[in-house]
A and B are shown apart, each in its own frame.
Chain A
Amino acid sequence: MSDYNFAYLDEQTKRMIRRAILKGLAIPGYQVPFASREMPMPYGWGTGGVQVSAAVLTPEDTFKVIDQGADDTTNAVSIRRFFEKTADVAVTEATAEASVIQTRHRIPEQDLRADQILVYQVPIPEPLRFLEPSEVETRKMHALEEYGLMHVKLYEDISQHGAIATSYAYPVKVEGRYVMDPSPIPKFDNPKLNMAGIQLFGAGREQRIYAVPPYTDVVSLDFEDYPFEASKADHACDLCGATDSYLDELIVDDSGKRMFMCSDTDYCCSRRKAGHIGAQGVPYAEDAA
């Protein structure tokens, strides 16, 4: 890939993205427009995250990519390979070893440190989009801090279902000002948005970048009588026995029998390496052989 520039993008494009990132960090939760470029992977497959990663990676970085919490999902593999080729960065599956983590739909279980950067792939950055399809209108709403529509929607959920019927991409308010889409992470992950690491969000097709600096106040929208609740399947991981991790549900036979396992594959694997075994798990070494 020596025909291409370091981290693929040309320098002018990276500068434009970097300027957007700086403004994003200065105005937490505000969606900064940027001139997203066509990338060599499809829009909707992480082009926003890839452009942000390309703008922040240095040759010294160790890069991790997860999709649905897993390092081995095909799109995660594809993006990781892209940066191995174009930025010659070291890659890892271990959360603790990574300096930059690109993610789709999850926040790692292990707390991130101040020297770590989490880059989110975002499909629809506008939290109000499904209530108001027009960009002209939603931009006005953010400018005027007019978020009544969102509260009406959540309240209608409660009157119809007795609970807020949003389970992922659950809207948050950042630093008391902007309502923000945390990307389609399960609401289980929302409390982790208050973290020590730098969080950068890239939406390529929609041409928006936004950011949450470390220790920023991020509050999931709720009502006093219907407080926000981070929920997960009421099981332990069948592989490692963890009770505090977000779980995937698998159908394991024709009769529809279910099992549950950690969505964060590195977390699960680390626990198994440390000797934890779930109800249907095997000791780590046997599996690896």
Chain B
Amino acid sequence: MYVAVKGGEKAIDNAHAWLAEERRGGTSVTELSVAQIREQLALAVNRVMAEGSLFDPDLAALAIKQSRGDLIEAIFLIRAYRTTLPRFGGSEPVDTEKMACDRRVSATFKDAPGGQVLGPTFDYTHRLLDFKLAADGEAPQAPMTDAPPAETPHIMSFLDRENLIQNEPAGPEVPDDLTRAPLELPASRALRLQALTRGDEGFILGMAYSTQRGYARNHAFVAELRIGAVPVEMDIPELGFAVDIGEVTLTECETVNQFQGSKTEPPQFTRGYGLVFGMTERKAISMALVDRALRWKELGEDNVGAPAQDEEFVLYHADNIQATGFLEHIKLPHYVDFQSELELIRKLRREAQAMQEAAE
């Protein structure tokens, strides 16, 4: 005799209870606060804000706490929350020239107005585990410097004056919005940049790396990488002018890339662009390289069939929330489908066997 198993509801409740307990971890250890995550795991918070497409360090920190440090899960929480928020309007484009730069480096000029500012970078740390941190994480006060200038000119603007860098035509007044309309191909550059900035850091990094290794190599130099806070302004129709509604920290990367020139245009440099929420320079540089690779058509280059040139491939596979959901769904029950395959393969084998026997 067989009695059908039921218990989905109970199983889910129990799983959630266990998950909550595991999230808390051993109770002899002090609970982690959201503020601690926001302050001390700031780069994780930045990644969650960038790929979650929502600038809110406290919510990102909360999501990291809730997700037990699984950043893709945290990004998912932020995205799902973000879609429920009402939309009051669009901001003015941020002016990164007005960025208060915490970090600003150029690989193309030894020095330029505004100077090179290393900022809080891992770059020249020796990657030696600091065992002292295990016992004591307090840090001495870092040396202070004068406040950065109110405006720091872009390195690219100096190339622009000589017409050495390809001119970027202005986009439409209101760009397409990846989160409001279904993706349609070919995609505008605005849509491509949106997909890249919220795309999975690992995926974008891998794509960018592939261009460096020869799959649509485009000779990128980092003309400028800058990180800092920029004001966000919004036009208030009732007032008739734009007002500051806050500030966001951004990482901006502009690459200068070689361009052969064409029959109609003298040789010029071209650019790739990366702009990402928070201090996220690996992502911003990767984004600039992939942006540049995707521009082959508008710049009159050959499609060499490299993955990073394939807009459809890159845009459809960059989003880790889409990817992880679909990847993980194969652990859901599929026994109805599997059963239909079982019947078919048994039938095909029966027929094949019968044919074989008849032949013998």
Q: Do residues A287 and B3 form an inter-chain contact, with CB atoms below 8 A? A: yes
How far is it, in angstroms, between the C-alpha of A246 and the C-alpha of B343 when the chains are bound?
12
Q: Which DSSP category, helix, strand, loop or mixed, fits chain A's interface?
A: loop
Q: Do residues A167 and B8 form an inter-chain contact, with CB atoms below 8 A? A: no
Q: Does B76 contact A (CB under 8 A)?
A: yes
| A186 partner residues in chain B, CB cutoff 8 A | 336-337, 339-340
Q: A74-B8, A282-B1 are in contact. Are A162 and B339 (CB under 8 A)?
A: no
Residues 1-44 of chain B, each 1 if its beta carbon lies under 8 Å from chain A, else 0? 11110111101100000000000000000000000000000000
| A246 partner residues in chain B, CB cutoff 8 A | 336, 339
Q: A40-B80, A123-B326 are in contact. Are A265 and B8 (CB under 8 A)?
A: no
Q: How many A-B residue pairs have CB under 8 A?
A: 153
Residue in B11, B185, B335 whose CB lies within 8 Å of A74:
B11
Interface centre among B84, B182, B340, B343, by most chain A C-beta atoms within 10 angstroms, is B340
| A232 partner residues in chain B, CB cutoff 8 A | 343
**31-56 of chain A: CB within 8 A of chain B:** 33-40, 42-45, 47
Q: Does B183 contact A (CB under 8 A)?
A: yes
Q: Does B212 contact A (CB under 8 A)?
A: no
Q: Does A163 contact B (CB under 8 A)?
A: yes
How far is it, in angstroms, between the C-alpha of A169 and the C-alpha of B338 when the chains are bound?
12
For the complex, count residues of A whose C-beta is within 8 A of B: 69
| B76 partner residues in chain A, CB cutoff 8 A | 38, 42
How far is it, in angstroms, between the C-alpha of A34 and the C-alpha of B352 when the chains are bound?
46
| A44 partner residues in chain B, CB cutoff 8 A | 325-329
Q: Does B322 contact A (CB under 8 A)?
A: yes
Q: Does B236 contact A (CB under 8 A)?
A: no
How far is it, in angstroms, between the C-alpha of A226 and the C-alpha of B180 when the chains are bound?
45
Q: Do residues B339 and A136 form an inter-chain contact, with CB atoms below 8 A? A: no
Q: Do residues B329 and A233 form an inter-chain contact, with CB atoms below 8 A? A: no
How far is it, in angstroms, between the C-alpha of A76 and the C-alpha of B340 when the chains are bound?
21
Residue in A42, A47, A167 whose CB lies within 8 Å of B343:
A167
CB distance from A16 to the nearest CB of B (A): 9
How far is it, in angstroms, between the C-alpha of A268 and the C-alpha of B312 when the chains are bound?
45
Residue in B184, B332, B339 whose CB lies within 8 Å of A249:
B339
Q: Do residues A43 and B348 form an inter-chain contact, with CB atoms below 8 A? A: no
Q: A43-B321, A168-B340, A188-B340 are in contact. Are A78 and B12 (CB under 8 A)?
A: yes
Q: Do residues B337 and A76 form an inter-chain contact, with CB atoms below 8 A? A: no
How far is it, in angstroms, between the C-alpha of A5 and the C-alpha of B86 when the chains are bound?
11
CB distance from B351 to the nearest CB of A (A): 6
**151-188 of chain B: CB within 8 A of chain A:** 179-186
| A184 partner residues in chain B, CB cutoff 8 A | 334, 336-337
Sorting the interface of chain B by its residue count into under 10, 10 to 19, 20 to 34 or 35 or more gives 35 or more
**134-180 of chain A: CB within 8 A of chain B:** 134-136, 161-163, 165, 167-169
Q: Does A69 contact B (CB under 8 A)?
A: yes
Residue in B83, B84, B183, B325 whose CB lies within 8 Å of A45:
B325
Q: Does B282 contact A (CB under 8 A)?
A: no
Q: Do residues A163 and B348 form an inter-chain contact, with CB atoms below 8 A? A: yes
Q: Does A280 contact B (CB under 8 A)?
A: yes
| A89 partner residues in chain B, CB cutoff 8 A | none
Q: Do residues B2 and A77 form an inter-chain contact, with CB atoms below 8 A? A: no
Residue in A10, A33, A165 whose CB lies within 8 Å of B84:
A10
Q: Does B333 contact A (CB under 8 A)?
A: yes
How far is it, in angstroms, between the C-alpha of A218 and the C-alpha of B84 when the chains are bound?
37
Q: Do residues B321 and A265 form an inter-chain contact, with CB atoms below 8 A? A: no
Q: Does B341 contact A (CB under 8 A)?
A: yes
Minimum CB distance partner of B183 in chain A? A207
| B2 partner residues in chain A, CB cutoff 8 A | 238-239, 250, 252, 259, 261, 280-281
| A162 partner residues in chain B, CB cutoff 8 A | 348, 351-352
CB distance from B7 to the nearest CB of A (A): 7
Q: Do residues B335 and A167 form an inter-chain contact, with CB atoms below 8 A? A: no
How far is it, in angstroms, between the C-alpha of A151 and the C-alpha of B337 when the chains are bound?
22
Q: Does B248 contact A (CB under 8 A)?
A: no
How far is it, in angstroms, between the C-alpha of A35 and the C-alpha of B159 when the chains are bound?
40
Residue in A5, A72, A187 whose CB lies within 8 Å of B7:
A72
CB distance from B31 to the nearest CB of A (A): 25
Q: Does A61 contact B (CB under 8 A)?
A: no
Q: Do residues A73 and B84 form an inter-chain contact, with CB atoms below 8 A? A: no
Interface centre among B6, B183, B322, by most chain A C-beta atoms within 10 angstroms, is B322
CB distance from B334 to the nearest CB of A (A): 7
Q: Do residues A42 and B336 form an inter-chain contact, with CB atoms below 8 A? A: no
18 sample A-B contacts, Cβ–Cβ < 8 Å, listed by A number: A5-B84, A34-B182, A35-B181, A35-B182, A38-B80, A44-B327, A45-B325, A72-B8, A75-B333, A77-B12, A163-B351, A167-B337, A207-B183, A231-B340, A239-B4, A248-B339, A261-B2, A263-B339
Sort A-B residue pairs by CB-CB distance and give the 9 closest, nearest first: A43-B325, A44-B329, A42-B325, A167-B340, A33-B182, A44-B326, A186-B340, A38-B79, A44-B325
